[in-house]
Amino acid sequence: MLEQSGLVRAIGRVARHGPGRPAAPYEWGGVTAGVESTPVPHAGHGAPALPPRVVRPSDNAGAVIDPADTALIAVDVQRDFLPGGALGVTGGDAVVAPIRELAAHAGLVVATRDFHPPGHCSFAAQGGPWPPHCVIGTSGAALHPDINAIAQLIVSKGTDPAVEQYSGFDGTGLGDLLRARGVRRVVIGGLATDYCVRATALAACGEGFATTVVRDAVRAVDRQPGDGERALNEIRAAGGHVSTLAEILGAMPVPRRRQGALVQRPQR
Ligand SMILES: [Zn+2]
């Protein structure tokens, strides 16, 4: 059931936690921690249509975020995409801890979820590429409990049996909702880098949001080796940034640094 807020009601597929779950934006639970290994440049794949540029592991320009106008989007951190799930991403549970840390620095925490009816067009029996996953009413569709606990808005996608939606912005009204709340930057983590994170980040760039994908907070399927890295390069090419959690936390203003700036020091 959608809450009876005009804004939320108006955008249909973006649901707020129901009456039984009043906004509890900053509860924290236990998590599995992990850090993505340093990416190895993908050797030998031909003909990237990207401009010649130095591919850096991360990009500090995307690391400076202001909680006042930043939304964190946790993409599809659902049981079926976690290890052991119907479409489990290797190491997928390692995204949870970084996303929790990021949530403390975001003014709004959004969770997207795949939320498919039985017989969805993306399932193999219907000619799609995937086994059945994230079926409405099954445990596989559930958000990771720690993500569920911090999510202030939940965006469901893929709810129409005939429509596939990889991007959380695709037909959901999320862009308008974020703009209405003064959001200018989105910080993205979740699953999987080469599918729904990629699509959501590219859409965020297209919607005009400053967009940062957090390298530690995403994991790729990598059906073809390097798919995840290629997705990150596409996001950069679209104007997005890729930063690490450490870079973002390091760019946060801290009292000591502020104090230092206020002290007049004699020039030498
Ligand atoms: Zn799906």
pLDDT digits (tens, 9 = 90+) for 195-214: 999 999 999 999 999 999 99
Q: 59, 80, 114, 157: which one is catalytic?
A: 157
| Domain 55-262: CATH superfamily, name plus number | Isochorismatase-like (3.40.50.850)
Question: Is it the case that residue 48 has pLDDT exceeding 80?
Answer: no
Cβ neighbours of 155 (radius 10 Å): 27
| pLDDT confidence of residue 54 | 46
Backbone angles phi, psi at 74, to 5 degrees: -95, 110
Q: Which residues pair with 116 in a beta bridge?
A: 135
| pLDDT confidence of residue 253 | 74
| pLDDT confidence of residue 135 | 98
Residue 114 alpha carbon to ligand 1 centre in Å: 5
Active site residue 114: no
Least confident of 31-45, 136-150, 167-181, 185-199: 31-45
Residue 30 alpha carbon to ligand 1 centre in Å: 27
Q: 76, 93, 114, 146: which one is catalytic?
A: 76
DSSP 37: P
pTM of the model: 0.76
Q: What share of the chain is helix, strand, coil (3-state, %, to 5)?
A: 30, 20, 50
Residues 6 or more apart whose CB falls under 8 angstroms from that of 152 comprise 16, 17, 23, 25, 108, 109, 110
Q: For the segment 66-124, what is each residue's pLDDT rounded down to a tens digit?
A: 888 999 999 999 999 999 999 999 999 999 999 999 999 999 999 999 999 999 999 99
Contacts of range 223-228, beta carbons closer than 8 Å, 24 or more positions apart? 223/194, 225/42, 226/42, 226/45, 227/193, 227/194, 228/39, 228/192, 228/193, 228/194
H or E segment and range at residue 149: helix 145-150
